[in-house]
Structure 1
Amino acid sequence: MSVVTITKDNYEMEVVQSDKPVLLDFWAPWCGPCKMVSPIVDEIAEEVGLVIKVGKINVDEQPELAAEFKVMSIPTLAVVRGGVVVKKSVGAKPKKDILEMLEA
């Protein structure tokens, strides 16, 4: 399954109302570590997309969502279940660590 671009307009439907857990990747095009994490997140979306939804939020374009999630540094990854953040991680992480976040 492909990655969904999350905006303030589709956040409610794609994240809060999702019947699956959602992995959110907060990023920006100018962020070096974000560029390292992005292909890993894409890979995870392809591998687990049937059981987990993966979304990306550009913090420059969606400052309201970044503020709502209290994103101070990027990349920030968050796992949301039933509209509630259950895990959050800041900084570039290897694939193994991101997958472990999804197991909780």
Structure 2
Amino acid sequence: MDDEPLAEWAERRDARVGQLRAVPLVTGGGPRASHLNPEAPRAIQRWNGHMWEPHGFAANLAEARRVLFPHAEAASAPETTTPRLDPGTGRHRKPPP
């Protein structure tokens, strides 16, 4: 049997401790995908190594993303020029006229 050593499993599990996730608060068995209800409030949960525990609250998807990815806005500077496709020979390219 190819069982993983317990030390490797524990190391992989402990690497996720502190990870955050946002769960939409919708009534009933409604959709849980974030893009379907962007204005729905979110519960921010934190992984403690054994279960997801309450960590915070966000009013909508945009606020939840700011909590989950605080450095993403600073790292993603808007691109000033649009990338141009170079001529190629791939199947998806149109042949030159």
- Tell me if both proteins adopt one fold, taking TM over 0.5 as the criterion: no
Q: Which has the larger radius of gyration?
A: 2
Higher helix share: 1
TM-score, normalised to structure 2, is: 0.31
Q: Which has the higher strand share?
A: 1
When normalised by structure 1's length, the TM-score is 0.29
Of structures 1 and 2, the one scoring higher in RCO (CA 8 A, sep 6+) is 1
